[in-house]
Copies of this chain bind each other. A is one copy, B any other.
Amino acid sequence: MSTPHSTPLGVAVIGYAFMGKAHSAAWRNVSAYFDVPEVEQTVLVGRDAEKVAAAAQKFGWKESGTDWRAVLERDDVHIVDVCTPGILHHEIVLAALAAGKHVIVEKPLANTVAEAQEMSDAFEAARTNGQHAIVNFNYRRVPALAVAKRLVDEGRLGAIRHVRISYLQDWLSDPASPMTWRLRREQAGSGALGDLGSHAVDLVLHLTGERIDSLTGGVHTFVSQRPTTDGALEAVTVDDAAWATARLSGGGIVQLEVSRAALGKKNGLALEIYGELGSLSFDLENLNELHFFDSRDAAGEQGFRRILVTEAGHPYVGNWWPDGHIIGWEHTFVHQFAEFLTSIRDGTESQPSLADGLRVQRALAAVERSAAAGGSSVTL
């Protein structure tokens, strides 16, 4: 895999539900907007042969399959893109790396720190073989957040004092919502903490460029039993909500909260960063906007500026449509894969790395550790 690819890069996506559909869309469209190495939608893999075949046809795949191990042995598959439930990430990623494949894995990287560590270590070895791997923290690729990152990196915010981030949904607000595998700890690892908290933690670390030194945190389950399809009640074994207050290596304070029981919020990832020189705010429900306060604006004219991040000069978005034409949520996957393909072509480091996934996992574990200790401070 260390030599330039003379043929199209063949892609296999494992999983065909929500994430499989979103990843398929990105593979189908990335070449139409970005100058990337040629890719081929080689095979879509799932457990149910009939359903995965139907999905493959809908989503533009040449073939479908049910045996991910067999797919790893194919020479025409160069990229393995893991969209399964978290419980399978560890096994598939290790096998794919061993098979010499490039790897994309959905977030969170794994269900435990130990798994994540092993996966990250395995990649460090594979990297010397020219392989690439990323954890799909796709919100880094929201154009407005890419602008945010640039402003922070350029020192426009100065020292960061406060980060306030919340990721709130409401699909578990109703106690009558049914039981699913996502609410069983052995399958999902955790609840809102892993699902939503992993995005939030990655954004904090990525955007600030700092480390979390310590945190206090907690988790809570509002609805402890939910109806199964046969009408019985089953215990919910993951959290509905989680939170933390963390200290950044640069001295800033992070308040973080995630919930699937915040009625009225559908996919509300709200972020505020307050620095000594500038401040930012962002909301995923209006993902094309970034609000920027610049203390160097003239006195009397200062205020949060609503930047509609849809201009030709803005990151990613100029590849789509003329100024002012907004993009949607799934476009972030296209951007992520474009970055990934570009780094493969150029032999540069692919990001977000599995090490990034590991450090997120450590922070999530620290929240659970703090919670178990009654909210005591935990050092990372």
Which A residues fall within an 8 A CB radius of B? Answer: 18, 21-22, 24-25, 28-29, 31-32, 58-60, 147, 161-162, 164, 166, 168-171, 173, 175, 216, 218, 220, 222, 241, 243, 245, 251, 253, 255, 257, 259, 261-268, 274-279, 284-288, 291-295, 297, 299-308, 310-311, 313-314, 320-331, 374-377
Q: Which B residues touch A294, using CB under 8 A?
A: 301
Which listed residue, B175, B261, B308, B377, touches A374 by the CB 8 Å rule?
B377
Closest-CB distance, A64 to chain B (whole angstroms):
14
A215 nearest in chain B by CB position? B375
**Cβ B308 vs Cβ A306 within 8 A:** no
Bound-state Cα–Cα, A10 to B29, Å? 20
Contact partners of A301 in chain B: CB under 8 A: 292, 294, 305, 307
Q: Within the assembled complex, what's the spacing in Å between the Cα atoms of A274 and B161?
A: 27
Residue of B nearest to A376 (CB): B376
Complexed CA–CA distance, A260 and B7 (Å): 46
Q: Does B297 lie within 8 Å of A303, measured CB to CB?
A: no
Closest Cβ of chain B to A374, distance in Å, is 5
Complex-state Cα separation, A28 to B25, whole angstroms: 10
A266 touches B324 (CB 8 A): yes
Known interface pairs A293-B263, A305-B297. Does A255 touch B279 (Cβ–Cβ under 8 Å)? no
Given known pairs A251-B222, A262-B162, the reply for A299 and B328 (CB within 8 Å) is: no
Contact A261 B274 (CB under 8 A): yes
CB distance from A56 to the nearest CB of B (A): 11
Copies per complex?
4
Q: Is the CB of A257 within 8 A of B257?
A: no
CB distance from A191 to the nearest CB of B (A): 14
> Of the candidates B147, B257, B266, B321, which one forms a contact with A300 in the assembled complex, judged by CB atoms under 8 Å apart?
B147
What B residues does A300 contact at CB under 8 A? 147, 307, 311, 313-314
Q: A18-B322, A259-B161, A331-B328 given as contacts; is B314 within 8 A of A307 (CB)? A: no
Residue of B whose beta carbon sits closest to that of A259 = B162
Give complex CA distance A261, B166 in Å. 20
Of B25, B166, B297, B305, the contact of A164 (CB 8 Å cutoff): B166
Closest residue of chain B to A315, judged by CB? B300
With both chains docked as a complex, state the minimum distance between the C-beta of A335 and any C-beta of chain B, in angstroms.
Answer: 13
CA distance in complex: A58, B166 (Å): 38
B18 pairs with A324, CB closer than 8 A: no
Min CB distance A363 to B, Å, is 16
Q: Which of B29, B162, B169, B218 contacts A257 (CB 8 A)?
A: B162
Contact A303/B306 with A164-B166, A216-B375 known, Cβ cut-off 8 Å: yes
Residues of B close to A375: CB separation below 8 A = 216, 245, 375-377
Report Cα–Cα, A267/B262, bound state, in Å. Answer: 25
**A166: min CB distance to chain B, Å:** 7
